[in-house]
Amino acid sequence: MYDDTPDLATGTPHDEARRQLQICNACRYCEGYCSAFPAITRLRAFADGDITQIANLCHNCCGCYYACQYTEPHEFALNLPQALAQVRTQSWQDYAWPAPLARLFHRHAYATVAATLLGIAALFLLIQAVPAPASGTGFYAVLSHSAMIALFAPLFLLPLAALALGLRRYWRDVGGARPTLAQWRDALAQAAQMRNLKGGHGEGCNFEEGARFTPARRMAHHAVMYGFLLCFASTSTGTILHYGFDMPAPYSLWSLPKLFGITGGLLLTAGCVWMLALKARAEAHLSDPETTAADTAFVGLLGMVAASGLALYALGQTVAMPALLALHLGAVASFFLLTPYTKMAHGFFRLAALLKDAQARGV
């Protein structure tokens, strides 16, 4: 009968998110928490592309969930963090190339664990199978530089190409235009500060302490992100020194690769451990419950990349070095390969969403 409350049955993740977003748009109490809500209020109807964009703009701070009058047991059963997380996962899977790999690694922790073990085993075998030239020193005495390049150049570039393909599809679906310099600046500044995890008031998000705000997740994420970027800078400067200045590794403690690498490794390791501790205390139902285990495995892998790198630095002069090298390079290889198919992809899509949002805000 017409006077009855409409049927709240749900279909795809986009349908469920659409149902919830329409309720949000009639309320708007959460407008100040993050960028997602102003993006919602700019619209009246939500096409699938709009929902994908809003979902990728959402940083899962959960502020809106705890502030919501309509969460269960209310019959509207709003849980926007979860609804958007499910759309997000779906979008990363759909845009990934090849998509089945993303479905596997986003939903199954064992897949990441298995890939990591395989990566490490492969490196052990490789070291056994490809004898390093006698002229090699340090790590290159175990695995030659050219073998490393032959292995890691494609392992680095191919996943990036796959990611680029996915991002292009994303950009088309959300109706992105060619970004301007100002839009890039805006998006990068937001990402650099993780402004959307500040809760609008600067006190942080609701992740591990229920309705209370804490900066912990934002800080842990900063540690992971900046740690990762420092590690990346370490590798990049190493590459530049090697090819540009004919200064091959090993490098001294006060060299750029080491300074970046050690601080980055420590930050990344600590950030991953912190993030795992926070994840353990977080409420799984405020994210996509189907990806919790896989995301945890991914953070574990990232932490392992960092920790094994540090161990390699600390024990590089001992007999443990060859085994540690295989462990570290194996983890790095798996990490590179899995980048387009795991939680790692979120950083790229998030940046794209921030960029698109800057366009929508008229930056």
The total of other beta-carbon atoms located within 10 Å of residue 3's CB is: 4
Amino acid present at 299:
V
Which range in 29-37, 222-230, 254-262, 351-359 contacts another protein by CB under 8 A?
29-37
Which of 157, 121, 162 lies closest to 329, judged by CA?
A: 121
- Phi then psi dihedrals of residue 3, to 5 deg: -75, -10
Binding another protein by CB under 8 A: which of 10, 12, 17, 22? 22
Q: Using a CB cutoff of 8 Å and minimum separation of 24, what contacts does 277-285 make?
A: 278/207, 278/208, 278/216, 278/217, 278/220, 281/208, 281/209, 282/207, 282/208, 283/62, 283/210, 285/79, 285/82
d(CA 324, CA 342): 24
Write down the least CB distance from residue 19 to another protein, Å.
Answer: 10
Binding another protein by CB under 8 A: which of 10, 15, 23, 104? 23
Amino acid present at 288:
D
Q: Is residue 77 close enough to count as binding another protein by CB under 8 A?
A: no
Which range in 25-33, 114-122, 244-252, 334-342 contacts another protein by CB under 8 A?
25-33
CB-nearer residue toward another protein: 29 or 243: 29
d(CA 116, CA 299): 12
What's the CA angle centered on 171, arms 168 and 172, to 5 degrees? 90
The residues near 155 (Cβ < 8 Å, ≥ 6 apart) are 333, 336, 337
Binding another protein by CB under 8 A: which of 201, 281, 285, 361? 201
Q: Is residue 362 close enough to count as binding another protein by CB under 8 A?
A: no
Binding another protein by CB under 8 A: which of 15, 49, 71, 219? 71
Q: Is residue 6 close enough to count as binding another protein by CB under 8 A?
A: yes
Q: How far apart are the first and last CA of the chain?
A: 47
Q: Is residue 296 close enough to count as binding another protein by CB under 8 A?
A: no
- Contact string 30-69 vs another protein (x = CB under 8 A): xxxx----x--x--x------------------xx-xxxx
CB-nearer residue toward another protein: 27 or 47: 27
Write down the least CB distance from residue 211 to another protein, Å.
Answer: 4
Binding another protein by CB under 8 A: which of 11, 73, 244, 362? 73
What single string gives the DSSP state of each residue in 256-301? HHHHHHHHHHHHHHHHHHHHHHHHHHS-GGGS-GGGHHHHHHHHHH
CB-nearer residue toward another protein: 28 or 185: 28
CB-nearer residue toward another protein: 42 or 172: 42
Q: Is residue 72 close enough to count as binding another protein by CB under 8 A?
A: yes
CB-nearer residue toward another protein: 61 or 305: 61
d(CA 91, CA 34): 21
Which of 208, 151, 118, 163 lies closest to 341, judged by CA?
A: 163
Q: Is residue 4 close enough to count as binding another protein by CB under 8 A?
A: yes
* Cα dist from 216 to 26, 29, 346, whole Å: 32, 25, 19
Q: How many residues does the chain have?
A: 363
Binding another protein by CB under 8 A: which of 49, 136, 138, 200? 200
Q: Is residue 11 close enough to count as binding another protein by CB under 8 A?
A: no
HSE of 93, CA atoms in CB hemisphere, 13 A: 17
Q: Is residue 118 close enough to count as binding another protein by CB under 8 A?
A: no
CB-nearer residue toward another protein: 41 or 137: 41
Which range in 4-12, 47-55, 146-154, 290-298 contacts another protein by CB under 8 A?
4-12
CB-nearer residue toward another protein: 244 or 362: 362
- Contact string 203-232 vs another protein (x = CB under 8 A): x-------xx--------------------
The total of other beta-carbon atoms located within 10 Å of residue 301's CB is: 24
Q: Is residue 29 close enough to count as binding another protein by CB under 8 A?
A: yes
* Cα dist from 43 to 68, 179, 212, whole Å: 20, 21, 30
Q: Which residues bind another protein (CB under 8 A)?
A: 2-6, 22-23, 25-33, 38, 41, 44, 63-64, 66-76, 200-201, 203, 211-212
